[in-house]
Structure 1
Amino acid sequence: MKQRIITAIIALIVVIPFLIYGRWPFVLFGFLLATIGLYELIAMRKLSQFAIPGIFAVLLLWTILARFDGDVVPYISMSKLEGAGLFILLLLAYTVFSKNKFTFEDAGFLAVSAFYVGMGFYYLIEARLYGLDYLLFIFFIIWATDSGAYFVGRSLGKRKLWPVISPNKTIEGAIGGIVIALIVAVVFQLVHPFDYSIISIIFIALLISVAGQVGDLVESAFKRHYGVKDSGKLLPGHGGILDRLDSMIFVLPFLHFIHFIH
């Protein structure tokens, strides 16, 4: 517990200045966190992080994270979609040059991993640039869901939610997390109202809470499949970047899909 608290304090000291200032430092910080998150997934599959496929995967990730709509490469007419497609084709081509030591499954894993991490962190960056209050609202709802699920699950939990993936989570805890999240959302709207009705805010908070719990289970499924306890060791007592931000990067794309954050 002491290690977790110390790590949390240090992490907050590092993150808060980027979060408050925003703009290009936060964009670069987002690129860094996303790259670490991708490397965590690559390490789970026991692929070489600095071999050619790993480099292609990082370049694919950075292409997805790029915020501009123009050409990816100067003087070459290539959109983001075309740039991403190029790196996927290079990953597939490498299966031939490696004489299938690097397999089609490996290429697919790297492509999906880069897209999963890249899409989540792209929208994280966009959310901060759109407004700190929106990002704080999302943080509060996810935190309320996690805390509510933990405490309600410990005190009232009896029925397992998904024991094969996460044996400690309960149905009662999941419902409790949603209820606490909705309460926090209403309080947040009363204190700092968004340009939405209270019904819309409740619906958005419900989406964040449910999607956040699904995102947490997705990350748990990865770790269970690859036989690891944590996604990484960067944060002693907490695990890796994906262990801390799994719900966030899963939630944010949905909020953009419904145009809560434009």
Structure 2
Amino acid sequence: MSTELRLRIISAVVLAIVVLAATWAGGFPFRLLAAAMALLVYYEWSTITRLGAVDPRGNAFGWAATALAAVLTVSGEGVLALVTVAVATVLSLAHTAIFKKSYWLPGGIAYAGLTALSLAAIRADDDTGLIAMLFVFAVVWATDILAYFVGRAIGGPKLAPSTSPGKTWSGAIGGTVSAIVAGSALYLSFFAWPGIWIVLIALVLSVCSQVGDLFESFIKRRFGVKDSSRLIPGHGGVMDRVDGLVFACFAAFLLGLAAMATGRPVASTGAFLLGL
């Protein structure tokens, strides 16, 4: 076994232990993990897009907004964190338009802020949140793993050749099918079969996960970088590892908010996700 492969395996095991332990604990430990991920994501985003060089004041504002949203998330003030991210994004859009700066600034604030918010909202502090978070993990991980192996085995037309040449339509379809199977199996470990809802939500989250992967590939190709950073030995950066996860969580969180806005009684994001 090569040194690089050994390093990748050790890093992956350590990361899995930390993430799963925090997920099991919920509450403060998980909110702390979500906030740390948001700060690291903003660090990598601002580094890749060179915000510190092209817009120092805007980048300082982005750091302050992300840090405040992270602190509010850790404190359990999800509504205030959401308001902070929304207001900061709007203000940064105005700053960008007025001073003709980089639109990557509001994008980074929204991306990093929603990372903390969506993860914390799905996990929450109850057993439903734990199951919902495990459901998201099952869908995203199944998508990633089977998309790779099915794509390698079958090949065929490229999914997005200009953005990520290695991805194929066969892999995307295989990943989505496996996500539906994995999500359904996870759900059935705790509940009776609810009908078509879990299939549909697993399908949506799997597609969003793959969109997130392509989006990060687009950013890296746009700025000519291979990895989002070197924070994780053998794996690159945090964004490299959670791109699909955060987009799936964004979708779950925003769909839950939309359901609440339409007057549907939703106990929590996790409950919405599981159709409870």
Normalising by the smaller structure, the TM-score range is: 0.7 to 0.9
Report 1:67-146 matches (<5 A): 67=73, 68=77, 80=84, 83-84=87-88, 88=92, 91-92=95-96, 104-106=100-102, 108-129=103-124, 131-146=129-144
Structure 2: stretches of 5+ with no match in the other structure: 257-268
Structure 1: stretches of 5+ with no match in the other structure: 73-78, 96-102
Q: TM-score, normalised by structure 1?
A: 0.83
Q: Which stretch shifts more, 196-205 or 148-157? A: 196-205
Distance 1:10 1:60 in 2: 30
Distance 1:157 1:228 in 2: 26
Q: TM-score, normalised by structure 2?
A: 0.79
Count of residue pairs the alignment pairs up: 246
Q: What's the CA shift for 1:202?
A: 0.3
Equivalent pair of 2:78/2:117 in contact (CA under 8 Å): no
1:156 aligns with 154
The one of 23, 32, 49 aligned to 2:36: 32
1:214 aligns with 211
Q: What's the CA shift for 1:30?
A: 1.6
Equivalent pair of 2:139/2:183 in contact (CA under 8 Å): yes
Equivalent pair of 1:231/1:239 in contact (CA under 8 Å): yes
Distance 2:215 2:86 in 1: 28
Q: What's the CA shift for 1:87?
A: 5.3
Distance 2:167 2:90 in 1: 41
Q: Residue 55 of structure 1 aligns to which amino acid in structure 2? A: A
Rate the CA distance shift 1:89–1:244 in 2: closer, same or farther, 3 A: closer
Distance 1:135 1:71 in 2: 22
The one of 247, 251, 269 aligned to 1:250: 247
Distance 2:216 2:158 in 1: 18
Q: What's the CA shift for 1:83?
A: 4.9
Rate the CA distance shift 1:10–1:82 in 2: closer, same or farther, 3 A: closer
- The Cα RMSD (Å) is 2.7
**Partner SS state of residue 51, structure 2:** coil
Distance 1:89 1:172 in 2: 38
Rate the CA distance shift 1:197–1:58 in 2: closer, same or farther, 3 A: same
Q: What's the CA shift for 1:31?
A: 1.5
Distance 1:70 1:189 in 2: 28
Q: Which stretch shifts more, 41-50 or 114-123? A: 41-50
The one of 57, 62, 65 aligned to 1:60: 65
Q: Which has the larger radius of gyration?
A: 1
Distance 1:111 1:3 in 2: 35
The one of 182, 185, 201 aligned to 2:183: 185
Equivalent pair of 1:160/1:168 in contact (CA under 8 Å): yes
The one of 14, 20, 29 aligned to 1:16: 20
Equivalent pair of 2:183/2:198 in contact (CA under 8 Å): yes
Equivalent pair of 2:42/2:63 in contact (CA under 8 Å): yes
Distance 1:71 1:183 in 2: 36
Distance 2:52 2:200 in 1: 43
Distance 2:116 2:201 in 1: 20
1:232 aligns with 229
**Partner SS state of residue 168, structure 1:** strand
